[in-house]
Structure 1
Amino acid sequence: MKGISYRRYGGPEVLEYGELRDPKVGPDQVLVKVRAAAVNPVDWKCREGYLDPVLDAVFPVIPGWDVSGVVVQPGAAVTEFAVGDEVIGYVREDFLSRGTFAEYVAAPVRTLARKPRRLSFEEAAGLPLAGLTAYQVLVKALEVKRGETVLVHAAAGGVGSLAVQLAAHLGARVIGTAGERHHDHVRALGGEPVAYGDGLAERVRGLAPEGVEAVFDTIGGDTLKTSANLIAPEGRLASIADPEVVAYGGRYCFVRPDAEDLRHLSHLADQGVVTVHVQQTFPLTRTADAHRLSQEGHTRGKIVVTVEGETDEGAG
């Protein structure tokens, strides 16, 4: 099969497009013909070796954890899916090697759910990692309740945009930080936008004088420190970007595959509760360009790589 891989850590230039070994399909896996795979910041962080202390890399590594596609072969023990089923998945294992930026991926059934019918394959590919992150932080870590005020950082980004929608669905009032050019987008998602930068604390206090009940930090550093001072008494703080959150009495969260949570998100997408905004798509051969755009850090919604209709061009 054709796909993207890298044989050593490094910048986008280490990504190679070419022939890869066909994946074997274990008893609890299904072979998915990939239609689209979303780019997440963790993809380039893995590629550059930032996760090497916690994840072994078995080179060559096929990057990518998000996928949407069609089942073409169920494993011997699989009863959940059949040939032709359209699925989405957060296909993460505890090592780096068998990712989703290829024509096929052998995905454990514990990582999959049926694709939302209302979403295109490109939109659906952007739901698993970002959606699960938003859901698990809001529901399981922060335990957001109706009537509470939630501060979501980077509210126009992949995780943030889904967090705004989910928090609003839970009945919370949502304040979302974003660049001014994204404020209308944050409003459309159901949030009240505030600008980044100097004076952030004062702007949030202007909207929530008594503080906020929950903070969802996606940035870390000074933003995390500022956030800790904006929490109301008995408020909660969680971060997916900075382990130092623990020093402020909060929780550090790393998303995990969960088929039940993913099924719930798919259902919410079919109900129109959550939507996925795709900023730009790239063909698989231009995965390096997709990584470069992700690393710029100004994405509204998701960057997605499409797999159908590939050529034999280089990876860029």
Structure 2
Amino acid sequence: MTQVALLEGRKLQKTYRRKGVFTKGAEIRAVEEMSLSVASKETVAVVGESGCGKSTTAKMLLGLEDLSAGEVYFEGENLAGANAELRRRYRSGVQAVFQDPWSSLNPRMRVYDIIAEPMRINGFDKEHIDKAIFQSLDEVGLEKAAANNFPHEFSGGQRQRIAIARAVALRPRAIVLDEPVSALDVSVRAQIMNLLKDLQQSLGMGYVLISHDLATVRFLATRVVVMYKGRIVEQGESEAIFKAPQHPYTARLIEAARIRKPGDITSAAPLHNSPPPGVAKAGCMFAERCSVVMPKCWEERPELLPIATDYEVACHRCGAQDKALS
């Protein structure tokens, strides 16, 4: 039986208009036809280079960025034109943990009030708030006494635990994790990642993980969505993608993330290709950087098509070759 998606984005699009002095400026599509969904106890990671649109996608799912097109669904219900009850459930049912715990926690508030604030906004009474605060602190590995302290009295890892406690105190259905461990020391990252996994299993939440760190993605994610210039180029089960990436861009990301010994030499793929004479700059967006570019890549944009169960790729090579790219 297929699980109902806790949080889903369908064909999300975000377009900005660059401001010009004498003109309206060109349109910039930060995200184009982005679709993803997350179910209970599932982690869907969105990866790609800086500027690929992954953080903009997160903001649209959180309602922090207006949609230029597309729809966001919460537990199967469209948020467009949602009534007050659905909006209330969405506000408490979808939470976020951001990259820098220092900037996401109000330095003038005690931990108690930091965790209590979203619950007060959602109308919970003091008895419920007290119980939820101390329970969530315990769940993230902090003493009850931490509720009386200010953020500056904690280490970076402890502050991120506080941010996580604030998110889980509402017992959300889904959490958007935007680079949740990238600002932490390496020694602390594993602790926070293990904490997130344990909380997901015990509370049944779905995670949308925004990250450029593929080691974090491989540890946490059940599915991976790879973005390039605002569009999905590959998506599928995490292990399948890491074992045999099908798109040349995904393969390059994974290759670049591998730990090497000093003096190791990597195979250098062309960094810039030029279109054939008479062919406009069109087709596949990755053609200029692709090491296996074909004439068709300049002429036609590849569609995101299934090549296996729960696995999709936007690459002409996948239709032209039987074997996977490596």
Which structure would you say has the larger Rg?
A: 2
Q: Shared fold by TM > 0.5?
A: no
Q: TM-score, normalised by structure 1?
A: 0.27
Which has the larger helix fraction?
2
Which has the larger strand fraction?
1
